[in-house]
Structure 1
Amino acid sequence: MLEPKMLSQVVALVLEAGALICAELQRAGGPRGTGDKADVDLEIELMLRHGLAQLYGGDFVGEETGRNLTGQAFCWVVDPNDGTADFLAGRQGSAVSVGLLHRGEPILGVVYAPVTPSGPDCIAWQKGMRALLRNGQSVNPPRQPNGLHNSVVFVSSAASSRRAENDALCAPAICEPMPSIAYRLARAAVGDGAAGVSLYPVSPHDVVAGHALLLAAGGDLFDQDGKRIRYTKLAGFCSPVEQCFGGDNLACLNLVARPWKDLLLK
């Protein structure tokens, strides 16, 4: 079992990482980096890798510094700045994502978007807690008995240029484009919408933290075939993930059945 104070210590590290993202955005000339690589991503991951190892030993999987897998029961899974390309393009909503697996089960997740249109947003949980924490306050997410009705589906920022087509695929919900898949899943977990979607392949570092939050809220994460996504002890997917749908279970299975590939082929 994790100590109750573990989550607060992880959150403190993640908030420190978020401060680095904010500072990078305020640099003269803007953030360093091009394409989908930002200099601050590596700096953040090195800080998190060291800090998390000090908190609780275990294996490590990171987007920037790679894997250290020795077969231990616990494994930290980190994306220092999920949504880097959008971050470098000046779009708000990239997120720090820190998850912890125990023998392949997500047991802790912290997702922090330091810059959003509504202000900083940190969503966190560890196994044993009865509620999620959002910016330090307990949140009991409302269930979505109506599935997609009167709700929102969080999709990638690329959907902004094809809003009508994405709305049609999400109907009767509407789509809300935003950068980070980690943050999309976190927002679905706290009940801001029915689901978060990625139409492109993801890696464990993209989704483990958000997946932990979804499980805590009674939801789950599904692949393109409607199969529940699960992880091996070595922090890999049990089967390839080309697309993912996370949130309310019925809403996700409804979305999986829709012709998303038609959108990608156009």
Structure 2
Amino acid sequence: MTAQTTCPPAFLALAHAMADAAAETIRPWFRKRIAVDAKADASPVTIADRDAETAMRRMIEAAFPEHGIRGEEFGACRTEADWIWVLDPIDGTKSFLSGSLAFGTQIALLHRDDPVLGLINQPITGERWLGTGTTATLNGAPIRTSDRTRLDEAILYTSAPEQFDRARHDRFTALAAKVRFSRFSHDCYAAGLLALGGIDLLVESNVFDYDILPQIPILEAAGGIVTDWDGQPLTVAPQYGTVLMAANEKIHQAALEALR
């Protein structure tokens, strides 16, 4: 995916305002003992998740009531709209619940299924990744993915290896055996590190649109490549069986070979 439509300034301003509002909602609950509910897929959800998404949805309704919304906690509305916001109030709820900083709020804006804006905001540290068009930034400063091309020098992350089925686990293990080292459980924060050049590969399986779509404009604008594990481009979809994010074309091809 490569954004072809310019994001209007008013929409960009709304994305920043929503990230600020979500952060204000989430921060008071961080490292507090709060109730945890289980969703239908057994994943955890808290009042912080729900209240942060509610705040963002209200802001969209107030500013652009004709826009569509797809959110993790409260579903979709106006999905036929040209402009659709994709919201993940806390990506990495398990990290949030355990007091880890490896979580964030994610926001994407689609124009006719073309991701034109991606935003990742870490509410506690204040780190904010933004991707629009050909520009990727961290707190306003331009960022670029790494130029490492050899697997034996590469750093590989994945959010949740328990989400791999047996066949995908074997494929991931084959790749992990060739890299410098691997790390787990960083969710959207790993995508930020990839865009920043700290890591080289991010491999995911059985993830949803709100997990991935906000990351794509950031990574592509920073110089990265995003496909499935077979090298096929991702299209907008409710769920993705496999996702491979790589710092550059050469290491992407090397990772594909190992995954095969």
Change (3 A) 1:168 1:133: closer
| AA of the residue aligned to 1:132 | A
Alpha-carbon distance, 1:176 to partner: 2.7
- Of the three residues 227, 231, 255, the one matched with 1:222 is 227
**2:188 pairs with 1:185:** no
Q: Cα offset for 1:66?
A: 0.3
Unaligned runs of 5+ in 1: 160-164, 261-266
Contact 1:185 1:195 in 2 (8 A): no
After TM superposition, give the deviation of residue 60 of structure 1 in Å: 0.9
The counterpart of 1:43, out of the listed 34, 51, 54, is 51
Alignment-mate amino acid for residue 174 of structure 1: F
Query: Are the equivalent residues in 2 in contact too, given 1:78–1:98 (CA < 8 A)?
Result: yes
Distance (whole Å) between structure 1 residues aligned to residue 8 and residue 100 of structure 2: 37
Deviation at 1:259, TM superposition (A): 5.4
TM-score normalized with structure 1 length: 0.78
Larger deviation, residues 246-255 vs 69-78: 246-255
Moved over 4 A (4+): 165-168
Asked if 2 retains the 8 angstrom alpha-carbon contact of 1:224 and 1:241, the reply is no
Would the aligned equivalents of 1:61 and 1:75 in 2 still touch at CA under 8 Å? Answer: yes
Matches within 5 A, 1:1-150: 1-27=6-32, 30-35=33-38, 36-56=44-64, 57-115=66-124, 119-127=125-133, 130-135=134-139, 137-150=140-153
Give ranges in structure 2 of 5+ residues lacking alignment.
1-5, 39-43, 163-171
Q: 2:202 aligns with which of 196, 208, 211?
A: 196
- Could you say if the C-alpha distance between residues 168 and 224 of structure 1 is closer, same or farther in structure 2, counting changes exceeding 3 Å? closer
* Partner amino acid, structure 2, of 1:131: T
Deviations 1:79-129 (A, max 9, x none): 1101112322333211100001111111001101224xxx332101223xx
CA contact (8 A) 2:136 2:219 kept: no
Q: State the 1:150 CA deviation.
A: 3.4
Q: Deviations over 1:29-62 (max 9, x none)?
A: x233145111211111111111133344411111
Distance 1:74 1:177 in 2: 34
Q: d(CA) in 1 for partners of 2:225 and 2:60?
A: 26
Q: Which has the higher contact order (CA 8 A, sep 6+)?
A: 2
Counterparts in 2 of 1:2 and 1:147: CA distance versus 1, 3 Å: same
